[in-house]
Copies of this chain bind each other. A is one copy, B any other.
């Protein structure tokens, strides 16, 4: 999916960015409904995502655009971008290549509240070292 600049501006006009110029964006696998992750976008990353069809977030920790998959290869292809009723949250329906989580799991939501606090519900599909091409520590 791509959008012309004019179309992107119409979408941007409906988004209520916060005081930092950011809006939370939920990524959901388009066909299974699995919620993969939540990250943040600024106007520039929304424009790039609509123009390229590849999801681009804004990294708050690195303070720059974060083209999902640029280091890991785990790209998100946009199928549909939705804006919520009051314009302060986005839902990105995507085709996730590989895994969404930096831990090597398909989804970032792998810890569930249960009897003893949190329990892991999803095992890693790949090792983080395989994703990022180096070992840690």
Contact in complex: B113, A50 (CB < 8 Å): yes
**Closest B-chain residue to A117, C-beta based?**
B10
| Nearest CB of B to A97, in Å | 18
Q: Give chain B residues whose Cβ lies under 8 Å from the Cβ of A28.
A: 33, 35
Bound CA–CA A111/B37 (angstroms): 20
Contact of A108 among B14, B89, B103, B109 (CB under 8 A): B89
Contact in complex: A80, B11 (CB < 8 Å): no
Q: Give chain B residues whose Cβ lies under 8 Å from the Cβ of A1.
A: 113
The copy count of this chain in the complex is 2
Bound CA–CA A121/B1 (angstroms): 17
Contact in complex: A38, B10 (CB < 8 Å): no
Q: Mark A90-103, 1 if CB is under 8 A from B, else 0.
A: 01000000000111
Bound CA–CA A9/B51 (angstroms): 44
**Closest B-chain residue to A14, C-beta based?**
B118
Q: Closest 10 A-B residue pairs measured CB to CB? A: A33-B33, A10-B117, A82-B109, A84-B108, A81-B113, A38-B89, A91-B109, A85-B108, A11-B113, A83-B111
